[in-house]
């Protein structure tokens, strides 16, 4: 096959609420954190009015889906109660639905109870940072409601993950982790799965860059790949800046991610991510 004929993005689809999402071209997941503890936007979107306005902006800027999170997963984050997380998430989904009835909503949670309540409120996807490791009922819940599932890699919890960064061979260790988890998901009859290698979770700064350099390695799984690299410490620590100044670095690494086969970009800044996708897509056409 000639280089110019190479198909870079495999023909992948996701079934979300009965609608097929074509991932043969990259999609954007807009981040909407309804917490007061997130590393970048904590405390900005807490009221229904604030959430609705941000949801409207995310969609106007070109997002294909919105990821709502009520539990901060930054390193060392507070371990909040299920009741508080549920309250935040349900308010978030309600606020998004006021703006758009048909928007694909993902819920960012590792707790099956919150996933259940969110799905019943209209979420069509669960984004689980623990890959089912922190709640043994998660896979059963995903199977019961037949929703899409984002399977992320993390060792430990948000409170101690920074201490769990030892790997014999990181790309191979992660590949084995995904193979094992995907087998479990298959046994539960779960078909619509996305993998997330977990940048910033149980990895040192330099390990994050090693992982990015090997990102295409995970395409062997023939599973859509989500990259969540937006404004993370692997950018601002290297550049010696703040998360507020890390947009340019985010765009650079999102570009690299697309060139290495990412299907979904999870971002705070949708407009800029859309521009990245539009430009990078020309390289493959």
CATH number at residue 195: 3.20.20.20
pLDDT of residue 8: 39
Q: What does the alpha-carbon distance between residue 107 and residue 126 come to, in Å, rounded to a whole number?
A: 5
C-alpha dihedral, 83 to 52 to 15 to 212, nearest 10°: -80
Q: Is residue 194 part of a domain?
A: yes
- Mean pLDDT over all residues of the chain? 90
For the record, the structure tokens of 61 come out as 């800027």
pLDDT of 218 over the 60 cut: yes
Out of 116, 117, 203, 266, pick the active-site residue. Answer: 266
Task: Summarize the confidence of residues 190-215 as an average pLDDT.
Answer: 96
Is 88 catalytic? The answer is no
pLDDT of 38 over the 90 cut: no
Q: How confident is the model at residue 35 (pLDDT cuts 50, 70, 90)?
A: confident
Q: Is residue 15 part of a domain?
A: no
Out of 116, 232, 260, 274, pick the active-site residue. Answer: 232
Q: Is residue 4 part of a domain?
A: no
Residue range(s) defining the domain that contains residue 280? 27-284
For the record, the structure tokens of 161 come out as 């993950």
pLDDT of residue 15: 86
Q: What does the alpha-carbon distance between residue 275 and residue 258 come to, in Å, rounded to a whole number?
A: 12
Reported as a single tens digit per residue, the pLDDT across 17-34 is 888 899 989 999 999 998
Task: Summarize the confidence of residues 154-166 as an average pLDDT.
Answer: 88
Q: Is residue 44 part of a domain?
A: yes
Q: Is the pTM of this model over 0.85?
A: yes
Q: Is residue 212 part of a domain?
A: yes
Nearest to 69 by CA among 102, 118, 16: 118
Q: Is residue 2 part of a domain?
A: no
Number of domains in the chain: 1
Q: Is residue 230 part of a domain?
A: yes
Is 266 catalytic? The answer is yes
Q: Is residue 20 part of a domain?
A: no
pLDDT of 5 over the 90 cut: no
Is residue 215 within 8 A of residue 243, CB to CB? The reply is no
Lowest average pLDDT, out of 1-15, 46-60, 212-226, 239-253, goes to: 1-15
Which of 6-20, 50-64, 152-166 is modeled with the greatest confidence? 50-64
pLDDT of residue 12: 74
Higher pLDDT, 44 or 25: 25
Reported as a single tens digit per residue, the pLDDT across 83-137 is 999 999 999 999 999 999 899 999 999 999 999 999 999 999 999 999 999 999 9
């Amino acid at each position: 096959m000639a280089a110019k004929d190479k198909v870079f993005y495999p023909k992948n689809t996701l079934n979300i609420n009965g609608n097929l999402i074509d991932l043969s071209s990259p999609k954007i997941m807009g981040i909407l954190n309804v917490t007061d503890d997130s590393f970048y936007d904590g405390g900005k979107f807490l009221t229904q009015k604030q959430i609705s306005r941000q949801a409207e902006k995310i969609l106007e800027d070109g997002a294909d889906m919105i990821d709502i999170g009520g539990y901060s997963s930054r390193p060392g984050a507070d371990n909040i109660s299920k009741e508080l997380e549920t309250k935040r998430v349900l308010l978030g989904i309600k606020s998004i639905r006021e703006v758009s009835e048909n928007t694909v909503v993902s819920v960012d949670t590792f707790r099956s109870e919150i996933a259940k309540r969110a799905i019943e409120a209209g979420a069509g996807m669960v984004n689980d940072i623990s890959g089912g490791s922190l709640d043994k009922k998660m896979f059963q819940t995903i199977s019961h409601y037949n929703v899409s599932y984002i399977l992320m890699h993390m060792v430990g919890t948000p409170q101690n993950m920074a201490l769990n960064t030892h790997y014999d061979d990181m790309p191979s260790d992660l590949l084995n982790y995904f193979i094992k988890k995907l087998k479990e998901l298959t046994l539960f009859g779960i078909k619509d799965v996305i993998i997330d290698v977990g940048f910033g979770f149980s990895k040192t700064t330099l390990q994050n860059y090693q992982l990015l350099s090997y990102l295409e390695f995970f395409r062997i799984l023939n599973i859509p790949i989500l990259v969540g690299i937006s404004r993370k410490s692997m950018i601002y620590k290297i550049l010696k800046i703040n998360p507020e100044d890390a947009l340019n670095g985010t765009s650079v690494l999102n570009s690299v991610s697309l060139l290495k086969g990412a299907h979904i970009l999870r971002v705070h800044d949708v407009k800029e991510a859309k521009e990245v996708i539009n430009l990078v897509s020309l390289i493959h056409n």
